[in-house]
Structure formats: structure tokens, C-alpha cells
Chain A
């Protein structure tokens, strides 16, 4: 009788452990809920982060653009409009203000690989990762290719859509294109500071020699 009880006990414990194991192994450890919180107000910031809603402004955003006619402290103006005429004017008038040295070139290269190489390719030949055939394994879906930009390389001898070859583009023309974008390329002014743009220009001039 006792032996029977023990057997039952053991099997009951075994069953309980099995159920517990099954229940706890469910899911991948992620959850839609933040769970329990103690004094939530300590977690909400008092100051407004740039990407936070803000009831003090009519459009509800914290990140406001400066009012019309004002210039932020330390802001470098770029007195060329987004037109072909001003593109050519910038190409003639502007020269890279940075000293051509290893540190600036290295920075330019690093920035080029982050901000440009996705489309323009690691060597500026217009073969960046998003212009090539690639598949999203999870959905086994062939992804759309981004239209490839023209190559900078001298050896490819590709023409620019605004005249001349890509390899002949001057400092000012490249800078103007980074600020305003051109054709399918969008403006990268919000991602690169003026100094960083000139560093990228310096590196692109190197790629043109390939």
C-alpha cells in the first residue's frame, strides 16, 4: 500500500515538473507588455528628449525647425540654391577648406562607408549592397534593387547627368550634391555636418582617380 502511494506521489511530482517545464518553455522570452512598474513617473523624463511628444508646441513635436529668418548659433550657411545653375556656380567657386591630410582622409573614408557605400559601392563604382540582388531568407523574398548610381571611377568614364564625366566632378559639385541630393539621391545634409561633408568630398576625389 505504501509502495503504491509512493509510486503515485512520484508520478504526480513528475507530472507537475513536466507541466511546469512545458509552461515555462513557451515563448521566446519577449513580451508585448512592460510588466510591473513601480512609480512610473520616475521613468518618464522631466526634460523633453528630441524625439518625444511635446504639448507646448502646436504640432506636438519637441524637435522644432528654427523660425523663418533665424540662423542657429554656429550654423554654417550654404548660399547656393538647389538649381542646376547654382550647382555649376558652386562647382566653380567652392574649394575644400580642409587640409588634405591622412586624418581627414581616414575620416572621410569611414563616413563614406557609412553614408555613401550602401548605394555607391565601396569603391564608388555604383555597386553598393542595395543595388545588388539579395534575398530576405525569412520570407524567401527577392528584394527590390535600388537603381544603381553612376561610377566615379576614371576608368569607367561614365557621364554625369549634369554634363562632364563623373571622374571630373569638382569639390563644389560634390558638396552641392551631398547638401541637396541629385536625381534619385536624397539630401544628406541632415546626416552629415559641413565638416564631415568636406571630408567625404576629399575621399570621393580619391575614388575618382581609380
Chain B
């Protein structure tokens, strides 16, 4: 035993030293790659991806494609290389006519090298993942399926329960039939039991009759039913045409919680119409593409484009490979939630710009809604209640300036003509 442990000790020392050394070297490299990652995200990710073409060429394999000296020069000052007529630079310039490699004179040689090291480490990571990917890929697929469709599971469960219930009913039926046959066969043996069976049933009927004769109880029951029907009916009648709480299934699972809440995108960015016109306007899909040209949520869908974002691409006939829009475009048919009928005129800009009402006052905590529902009842009473309480801010509003001026004239005993109150405006007659 001792012999073995001695050998072990002898071997262990150099191994552990070697391990420590190896670890130190690899962690140094990891450190560089980490710094490279930060630099890459801050400077390069605007136009480049490690895997796949973006605005600029794919970076994977760049260390093999180009000499390191050339890369250092190129990243430091690409435009000067194009101007100087470097053959590779000219070729790249021709390949990407709409965009141009930015010059980065502020990056030091070591910083550029660490970026290149980061690209290399990403390649290694992917190669390792691909090698051990077969089994893992299948597993992750199963997980995705399980987490993706809880409703499928529930439907299957329901079907199973129904089938089970049918089976139980069938079995019970069979049992009853066999029991009946047994009774039929042995009638003379059990004559008394039949009479006994009818005994308690009669008793129940008798009890029910007694209860029906109890006037207090009957009155109470009738009263309860009347109250229930009355209140339910009253509530239903009041809520005819009131869509408070209406939460339809939209064609795209767009989450305001994510976009307005977590990302802190202002309401106006997409619904600019609320500040300029009567309608709050649904953004056209080009507004979505301001971000979703880059954001594909592929991390959630195992490297694939999110099926919800794919619907935007479909609507615009956009090809993410070539980054070009096709001719076969069709609008996304969102379902209207807030619908104020035409017999009531409502203008968004009047409320948002002139009165300075927050969007949330009427639309509720929209920045927390994963799915939007109608928060306010939008009834006439609801409008009027707010109009009764809201104080008018007339500061710096030309319309109220004019009104106040007219009142001053009245106080002084001067004549107030229709023209003073805007009676000469074209729109008063020609609208």
C-alpha cells in the first residue's frame, strides 16, 4: 500500500505543477478573450457578427483568411488602405458598396489582438458544441417542445380524462347488467329486499314534500333566485357594449411589458400619431425593423429566428440573409381593442399634447402588460367624470388667451364681436 502511495506522490507533484501552469496560461488567454469580447461588443458588433454576414463580412475564420499585420493595419485605418489601393481592401470595398469599415485609431495593438482572440475563442466554442452536439441538440429540442406548448399537454390530458370516464361508465354498465342478471336468476331467494329498497326513497319524497310546504323556506329560495337573476341581469345589461377587460389574441405575441417596460422605449416612438393626430396610430412595420433588423431573439429559440419576429419579416417580405425587402408584402392585421364609436369624437393629440394627460391615465399600466387589455370602460360616464375634475391649464395656450382677452373687454364694457372669438376663421364656415 505504502509503495503505491509513494509512487503516487512522486507522480502527483509534476502533474499538479503542469496543471497549474496550464491553467495559468489558459486563464491568461481567457482574460484576453474576455477583454476582446467587451471591445467587440462596444466597437465591432454594430456591423459584424462572428457567425454569419451582417452589415460587414462574417468574422469567423478571419485569423486564417488574413495576415495578422494586414488585420492590424486594416482595423486601425481601413479608409486609408482603400485610398492607397491595397488589393484586398479594394475587393472588400467593392463587395460591400453601401457600408464602409470604420477606422479605429484609438484601439491599441494588444486590444485588436484580444478582439481577434475573442473571435477565435468563439470559433473554438462552436466547434466544441458541434462535436458534442448530436445528443445535446435532441435533448434541447425536447425541452423546447415541452416548455413551448403547455396547452397541448392540457388538451391531451383532457382527452385522456374523457376516455377514462367513458371506460369507467362502460365497466359500471357491465357490472350493473351482470348484477341484474344475478337478481333475475335468484328472484325467489331475495323477495324482501326490493320492498326495503323503496322504503327510504318514499321517505325522501315525503321529506321534499314537507320542505315544499315550509313557506319560509320556499320564500327564501325564491328570494335568492330572484336576487341572483336580478343582479346578474342588471350587470349584464349595464355592460352591453362595454369592452372593459377585453384582451383579444393578437396576430403577433407582442409584449408591451418587454418593449415599453424592460426596454424603456417611449410610447411615442411607435405611437407618434397620438401626439400629432386624432388616432394613436399602429406603427408601420418599418418601425419594428429599426430594431428587429438586428434583434432576432435567437437565444430563446436555440439559434433560430423567433417565430414571432419571423411574422414581421413575412409581412415585409424581408430576407434576413440578403437584408433586402421583397415585393410580396402584406399588412399585419392587428385586432382593435379600444374602439370608441364614431358617434363620439375623440382626439388623442388634444388630450396628450394640450392637456398633458399620461398614456397610463386611460390605458392603465401598459408597461407591465404582456398582453394588452382594455383598462378603462370608455363609457360616457367615465369621460364625464374626468372632465368634471380636470382643471384646465390655460398657460401659453392661444385659444384661452383669446377667451380671457374677450372677458377683459366685456368687463370694461367694450363691444365683443364674433370676430374677436375667432368668427373670421375659415374653418368656422368652410369645414
Contact = CB atoms under 8 A, between A and B. Distances in A.
Interface of A: 9, 16, 29-38, 42-43, 45-47, 49-51, 53, 59-61, 63, 84, 113-115, 118, 126, 129-130, 134-138, 141-150, 157-163, 181, 183-188, 190-191
A164 to B, nearest CB: 10
A38 B239 CA distance: 10
B29 interface: no
Given A30-B245, A50-B279, A148 B41 contact: yes
Interface stretch (B102-110, B177-185, B381-389): B102-110
Contacts of A84: 98, 100
A170 B286 CA distance: 26
Given A35-B242, A143-B263, A159-B105, A136 B258 contact: yes
B373 A185 contact: no
A144 to B, nearest CB: 5
B279 A51 contact: yes
Interface stretch (B60-68, B137-145, B153-161, B265-273): B265-273
B262 A136 contact: yes
B45 A134 contact: no
12 contacts: A35-B242, A36-B236, A43-B341, A50-B279, A59-B330, A145-B41, A146-B295, A147-B294, A148-B42, A160-B102, A184-B55, A184-B293
A183 B55 contact: yes
Contacts of B249: 32
Given A16-B224, A163-B79, A31 B241 contact: no
- Among B103, B269, B290, which residue has the most Cβ atoms of chain A within 10 A? B290
A190 B287 contact: yes
Interface in B228-269: 236, 239-243, 245-249, 257-258, 262-266, 268-269
Contacts of B269: 114-115, 118, 191
B46 A35 contact: no
A32 B263 contact: no
What are the 4 closest A-B residue pairs judged by CB atoms, nearest first? A186-B290, A161-B102, A147-B45, A30-B247
Given A31-B246, A118-B263, A161-B101, A37 B287 contact: no
Contacts of B282: 51
Given A118-B265, A183-B55, 17 more contacts: A32-B248, A34-B246, A36-B241, A38-B240, A59-B330, A84-B100, A130-B263, A136-B257, A136-B262, A141-B300, A144-B296, A147-B41, A147-B45, A150-B102, A181-B290, A184-B55, A190-B287
B290 A149 contact: no
Nearest to B77: A159
Interface of B: 41-42, 45-47, 55, 79, 98-106, 217, 220, 224, 236, 239-243, 245-249, 257-258, 262-266, 268-269, 272, 279, 281-282, 284, 286-287, 289-291, 293-300, 330-331, 333-334, 339, 341-343, 370, 373
Contact of B262 (A37, A50, A143, A157): A143
A183 B47 contact: yes
Contacts of B287: 190-191
Given A36-B239, A84-B100, A186 B343 contact: no
Contacts of A32: 246-249
B52 to A, nearest CB: 14
Given A35-B242, A130-B263, A138 B342 contact: no
A159 B103 contact: yes
Contacts of B262: 134-137, 143
A81 B105 CA distance: 30
Given A51-B334, A187-B286, A42 B343 contact: yes
Contacts of B99: 161, 183
Candidate in B220, B239, B342 with the most chain A CB atoms within 10 angstroms: B342
A114 B258 CA distance: 17
A91 to B, nearest CB: 15
Nearest to B265: A118
A102 to B, nearest CB: 14
A118 B342 contact: no
B41 to A, nearest CB: 7
A88 to B, nearest CB: 12
A83 to B, nearest CB: 8
Given A30-B246, A46-B342, A150-B46, A159 B294 contact: no
Nearest to A142: B299
A36 B293 contact: no
Contacts of A53: 333
A191 B106 contact: no
Most buried by B among A37, A61, A126, A184: A184
Nearest to B289: A186
Contacts of B286: 186-187, 190
Contacts of A149: 46
A126 to B, nearest CB: 8
A137 B55 CA distance: 32
B46 A184 contact: yes
Contact of A161 (B47, B224, B240, B281): B47
B281 A129 contact: no
A85 B330 CA distance: 33
A205 to B, nearest CB: 21
B258 A143 contact: yes
B284 A129 contact: no
Contacts of A115: 268-269
A207 to B, nearest CB: 18
B270 to A, nearest CB: 9
A130 B242 contact: no
Contacts of B240: 35-38
Contacts of A129: 263-265
